Chains A and B, each alone.
Chain A
Amino acid sequence: MHWKTRSRLTSWLLGIVTIGFLLFQWAPMFTMFTLSFAGENGGTTFPMNGVSLHWYHKLWEADLFDDFKPPMLRSFLLALACSATTVVLSVCAAQAMRGRFRGNGLYFYLLLLGLMAPGILVGFGFAILTRLLGIEGAWNTTAYVVHVSWALPFGFLTMLAVFNRFDPRLEEAALTLGANRVTAFRRITWPIILPGIIGTALFGFSLSYDEYARTLFTAGSDGTLPLAVMATLDRQLTPELYAIGTVTTAMSLTVIALCVIGFWLRARALRGRPS
């Protein structure tokens, strides 16, 4: 949108608020990144007492109690599973919404409920449910079910938005030319909605990977990475936590960057295609 700017003063004021907020938003993260490279005698705050990879080294060689590697692996696998499940369920649900089945209005609110209900309530309620049923909670069973219920509304809304902007004449053309519905979906619909699917997969992964409240109540004895981080923080804050924070943030940023590059490559490939 290109609105002519009338007032320079408001521009400046709004610009200062925006830049100020962005600095304020990023400064703590940069503090953490910087301090994670503190020297061996460095504490959890400035001065750093030298620059080293000591805390990363310590992270890698951690002993039995502080070992972040197994929780990290669990978090990663759980996030992958959650991502895949979210993609399948939200594509099905959004495709079903196009069919306007009976009760689709209520169904919409049912899925949106997962977005509104706070993690602490969902987690606690699910813990009651498993206790009543006599099921032992574990990261790859109960926590998985709850994680998907958290990512699903995001994926569902993303896919709904994608299908709303979708030109139905493309499918009609394929069907008129004799393709059956499955072929038309596979050859026409699927490639068009692929960017939305990447977005959904990203939501599924990062929402599960970073989830704390829901996991806390449902993961059982073997925790995920956020639980391990919180348990360590409860004992003592060390630069090791900054190192783990930097590593997970770097991982999140890499996943986002990969998706952005994927979008860009796809857009470029589509532009280069003869029409």
Chain B
Amino acid sequence: MSTIRLRSPAAFWLALPAGLWMLLAVVLPVLLIVWVSLWGGTTVSPNNPITFDNYQRFLSNENYLWLIGDTLLQTAMIMTITGVMGYCIAYFLTVKVTSPGWRLALFLAFVIPFWTSTLIRAIAFVPFLGVNGLLNQALMGIGLIERPIQAFLYSRLGISMAQVSLYTLLASGPVVYMLNSIPPALREAAMTLKAPPIIVFWRIVLPLTLPGIIIGQVLVFLNVLADFITVTTVGGNKLAFLGNLILLFYEGSQIRMTAVVSVLLMLLMLAGVAIALRIVDIRKVGS
């Protein structure tokens, strides 16, 4: 017995508004993109025949294929870096820091920027990475470099640094959750049975946190693949990834081409999520 009766009509009616909202604002628009990408003819109109011409035109351009490969490469790189760093930070915060006060303070320092604007955080990288920026000043101060490094800003290096800073939390959060749900007894049992720490980590901790790693990687994958803000602000429009291409076509009023790139982006994302679901069963994680 609870304030809602099982399988009652009330439950259905309560669920309806949010469900309809998502159908109207997310599902229908995404389906429309697929439809628009198939519009043929010379003018943009729903009355034209359905064809795959737009895809053929897009995929026959070698530059665009390179751009897709480049985006995937960048995504893989950021996934690797944020995955390793995120795991280290999660492990340190949950396992190694034993004082509750310190843990809370470090955790807040880690999480708080997530609640501020991504756009502003990306813009903040411009004065940080610039020729007279803080990073160059600091490196020169330590004596590591003699002259400021120009390649930090408006380059792939700068974009990658900003993306690592923005997305490491996504890779780390699910791992923190999984680490917290491991019963300490498991580790103690292994220790009692004389397993060295590295074996305990490899055979017990790592497999139990694997779902967290995978979920974190999916989140980073989805975000980096569609990221265009970091590329425009820190990259200074010198580079383009798939997200920027969508925006370029849209600003050029090439609606059907925008739709084609959007559908390809969607397919890449679905493929990524499908691979992740083969490795872990996400529904089991919450229980």
Contacts and interface: CB of A to CB of B under 8 A. Distances in A.
B187 A31 contact: no
Given A17-B88, A100-B7, A125-B32, A116 B269 contact: yes
Interface in B79-122: 85, 88-89, 91-96, 98, 106, 109-110, 112-113, 115-121
Contact of A14 (B12, B92, B266): B92
A64 interface: no
Contact of B115 (A6, A47, A188, A256): A256
A11 B28 contact: no
Contacts of B135: 27
Given A110-B27, A171-B2, A96 B12 contact: yes
B190 to A, nearest CB: 11
Contacts of B12: 96, 99, 101-102
Contacts of B98: 2, 5
Interface of B is mostly: helix
A63 B223 CA distance: 36
Interface string A20-47: 0110111111111001000000001111
B173 interface: no
Interface stretch (B18-26, B52-60, B70-78): B18-26
B184 interface: yes
Interface in B199-249: 222-223, 225-226, 228-229, 232-233, 243, 246-247
B134 interface: yes
Nearest to B282: A112
Contact of B14 (A24, A92, A120): A92
B141 interface: no
Contacts of A141: none
A5 B96 contact: yes
A185 interface: yes
Nearest to B88: A17
Interface string A187-208: 0110000000000001000100
Contacts of B258: 124
A74 B171 CA distance: 33
Contacts of B259: 124, 128
B17 interface: yes
Given A92-B15, A171-B1, A129 B119 contact: no
> Of A21, A29, A104, A256, which is in contact with the most chain B CB atoms at under 10 Å from its CB?
A21
A245 B123 contact: yes
Interface in A85-128: 89-90, 92-93, 95-102, 104, 107, 110-111, 113-114, 116-122, 124-126, 128
Nearest to B92: A14
A212 interface: yes
B30 A121 contact: yes
A242 interface: yes
Contacts of A99: 4-8, 10-12, 14
Q: Which residue, B1, B3, B15, B24, has most C-beta atoms of chain A within 10 A?
A: B3
A234 B14 CA distance: 45
B113 A29 contact: yes
A128 B255 contact: yes
Closest 4 CB pairs of A and B: A125-B29, A99-B11, A118-B226, A149-B25
8 contacts: A31-B128, A44-B127, A93-B19, A95-B4, A98-B2, A104-B15, A168-B2, A229-B123
Interface of B: 1-8, 10-12, 14-15, 17-19, 21-33, 36, 46, 85, 88-89, 91-96, 98, 106, 109-110, 112-113, 115-121, 123-135, 137, 161, 165, 168, 179-180, 182, 184, 187, 197, 222-223, 225-226, 228-229, 232-233, 243, 246-247, 250, 255, 258-259, 262, 265-266, 269, 273, 286
